[in-house]
Structures are given as structure tokens and as C-alpha cells.
Amino acid sequence: MMEKENKKIIRLDFNENPFGFPKEILEKVAREIDSDYIARYTEAPTKELSDCLVNYIKDTTRANFIDERWITVSAGADDGIKLLMELRPKRVVLFPPTYFYYYFFVKGLRLNYEEFPLIDDMYIPKVELKEGDMVFLPNPNNPTGHMFDDEEILRLLNSPATVVIDEAYFEFSWKTSVKFLKDYKNLVILRTFSKAFAFAGQRFGYIIAHPEMIERINTVREEYNLSSFVMRLAVEALKNRFLFFGRIKEIEMERLRMAEELENLGLEPFPSQSNFLYFKVEDAEKVRDKLREMGICVRVLWKGIRVSIGKKEENDAFIAALKEILG
């Protein structure tokens, strides 16, 4: 009994960063901030944070037109999604399989929505988009992990709809739609620190869009929507970003290895540019439950299994368990 209780559960179901947040950054921030900084209301984003974000966006995209007017901040990308939906579009357009939380907010806010399934789970179908539509598209996609290409995104942008590209996994693909912002006022880009920056429990995200769109979003955003501590931590993470990028490389190598291992089991993982893999398998729910009994958590989404890339030993345990289950 005791032994069972003490067995460490392997969490491969939330696409979190398995390496944790660097302790040295956490300790530096804790040493540097004073108690008054914690005690005061602090408008978000601070100047320091917004400068660091602009610098990061420019460094990683060469989009030199971006300045602080082009960004706003949210308590994670989910909060960014909610802020956008609070602008109350006439119709939300989704392309399943997609990020399941879009449905949570659409339903919670009682918005009108329509779904157009991806062709072969990969390609965006032709849809007539209208004024008042808001499209949500994760790129790389979740749960499949694959990237939509620029032509598909341009097809959406060349419409009267607001097009929200959710780049939660940007640092795993290094491909972005930021370059389209200059020409498309209807484009909104969502980002998060939850994945690459190992920040999921701290809740920090940012939104990049034309200043007019940012102004609209700020009308539904609370001025103090982020903790002052989180903002300091985000600044320090950005200043030390290369600490995180090394870990991303490791995750990428593990993803390639895991994909090969899955193929060796006769499975067909989708091509992924994120920190997870997705594959279809018969009785996915049964497989998930058996994995759970063996102490490994994965997710079933749209009848497929999505597994996060963990540390090497966690991935090995997952592959060994799957091998046993599939016989």
C-alpha cells in the first residue's frame, strides 16, 4: 500500500516543461525584490517587462516595427484567449482537432461558434469567413503538434475575420506569423511562458497585434492582471533565455527519439514541432487507463493519444509501458 502511494506519477499530460524553472533565477529575483514591491499595486506590464518582450520579439523574428504599443500581457495564454473572446465576436470559428480549452471559454461566455474539421486532421478546409468572425488556430497545432503553413494562414488573413494564431509552442518550432502583422490588422498572436520558459504555475502570457487591436483588448483587461513577482520573474527569464533554449534542444532530441520508438511499435505519430507527440491507436481510452494504472498520465483527445515529451527516463518508462500494453 505504502509503496503504491509513494510511487511517483509520471505526468505527460499537460505539455509542461519537465526540467523545472532554474533555481538560480528564482533565488536572484527573491533576493532583489523588496517587500514594498510585493505590497504595491503594479500596473501590468511594467516598463522593464514590456522592453524585454519587445527586445525578445525583435530578436527572434526580425520584426523591427514592433514596439510596446504592439503588445499586451495576460495571465497565461488561456487568459489571452478569454480576453479575446470577451470582445464578443459574432461567431468563433474552430478547426478541430484543436486546443480543447477554446470550447471551454466559448461555452462559458455563451458565444456562437462553428467547427470545420481539418482535412486529414492536418489541413485547413476552405471556409467563408465573415465580418465579426474570430478564428482560433494553434500553430503548431494542439493536439497534433504539426505546423500549418504560411499559405494556409494567409488564406485566413485575407478575409474580414479576426485571426488569432496561438503560438503557445513557438520556441519549439521557431516559426511565427509575426511577419504578417505589418500588413494584417486582423491578426492577433498569442504566446505563453508556460512551455519553453517552465512557467506554467506562474501564469504569464503576452499578445502581439496591431496597436488598434491591443487598445481594444486592453478595454477588457484589468490593469493589474499580473502579479508583480511574476513580472520580475519573466524579465529575468528573458534576460537568461539561453538557459531555457538548451533545454528545448534536449526536448527536441527526445521528441525525435520518441517518434522513432513509436514508429517501431507500428504507430504513426504526427510530424510534431512542439513538446509533445500525437498518434491514433485503437481503444485510445483503454490504453490511457492502462498507462494510468502503470503510473503514467497521458491525454486522449479526438480519439488519439497526446503524450508530452518528458525527461529521458520518463519517456523510456512510457515507451516500455506502451510496448507492454500493445503486446
Ligand X SMILES: Cc1ncc(COP(=O)(O)O)c(C=O)c1O
Minimum gap (Å) between residue 15 Cβ and ligand X: 5
Selection from 174, 243, 186 nearest residue 210 by Cα: 186
If one asks whether residue 15 binds ligand X (CB under 6 A), the answer comes out as: yes
Q: Nearer to ligand X by C-beta: 129 or 207?
A: 207
If one asks whether residue 78 binds ligand X (CB under 6 A), the answer comes out as: yes
Total residues contacting ligand X by CB under 6 A comes to 13
If one asks whether residue 138 binds ligand X (CB under 6 A), the answer comes out as: yes
Residue keyed to cell 486592453: 218
Minimum gap (Å) between residue 4 Cβ and ligand X: 29
> What span, in angstroms and rounded, lies between the C-alpha atoms of 9 and 256?
23
Q: Nearer to ligand X by C-beta: 42 or 192?
A: 192
Minimum gap (Å) between residue 205 Cβ and ligand X: 5
Look at strands 299-301 and 304-308 and give their pairing.
Answer: antiparallel
Q: Nearer to ligand X by C-beta: 168 or 262?
A: 168
> What span, in angstroms and rounded, lies between the C-alpha atoms of 138 and 80?
13
Site for ligand X in 244-283 (CB under 6 A): none
Residue keyed to cell 483527445: 301
Selection from 299, 71, 40, 326 nearest residue 178 by Cα: 71
74: β partners: 205
Dihedral sign computed on CA atoms, order 274, 19, 46, 63: negative
If one asks whether residue 99 binds ligand X (CB under 6 A), the answer comes out as: yes
* Coil vs helix vs strand at 279: strand
Choice from 26, 63, 87, 200 touching ligand X (CB under 6 A):
200
Q: Nearer to ligand X by C-beta: 61 or 192?
A: 192
Choice from 54, 57, 77, 325 touching ligand X (CB under 6 A):
77
Q: Nearer to ligand X by C-beta: 136 or 261?
A: 136
User: Rounded to a whole number, what is the distance in angstroms from the first to the last CA of the chain?
Assistant: 28
Question: Which one of the spans 71-79, 117-125, 239-247, 310-318 is the region binding ligand X (CB under 6 A)?
Answer: 71-79
Choice from 42, 61, 72, 142 touching ligand X (CB under 6 A):
142
| For the chain, counts of helices (H) and of strands (E) | 13, 12
If one asks whether residue 166 binds ligand X (CB under 6 A), the answer comes out as: yes
If one asks whether residue 16 binds ligand X (CB under 6 A), the answer comes out as: no
Minimum gap (Å) between residue 193 Cβ and ligand X: 7
Question: Which one of the spans 39-47, 76-84, 243-251, 300-308 is the region binding ligand X (CB under 6 A)?
Answer: 76-84
> What span, in angstroms and rounded, lies between the C-alpha atoms of 95 and 138?
9
CB distance 182 to 65 below 8 Å? yes
Question: Which one of the spans 106-114, 157-165, 192-200, 263-271 is the region binding ligand X (CB under 6 A)?
Answer: 192-200
Minimum gap (Å) between residue 266 Cβ and ligand X: 27
DSSP 93: E
If one asks whether residue 192 binds ligand X (CB under 6 A), the answer comes out as: yes
Residue keyed to cell 462559458: 108
* Coil vs helix vs strand at 303: coil
Angle at 86 between CA 112 and CA 214, to 5 degrees: 125
Residues that bind ligand X (CB under 6 A): 15, 76-78, 99, 138, 142, 166, 168, 192, 194, 200, 205
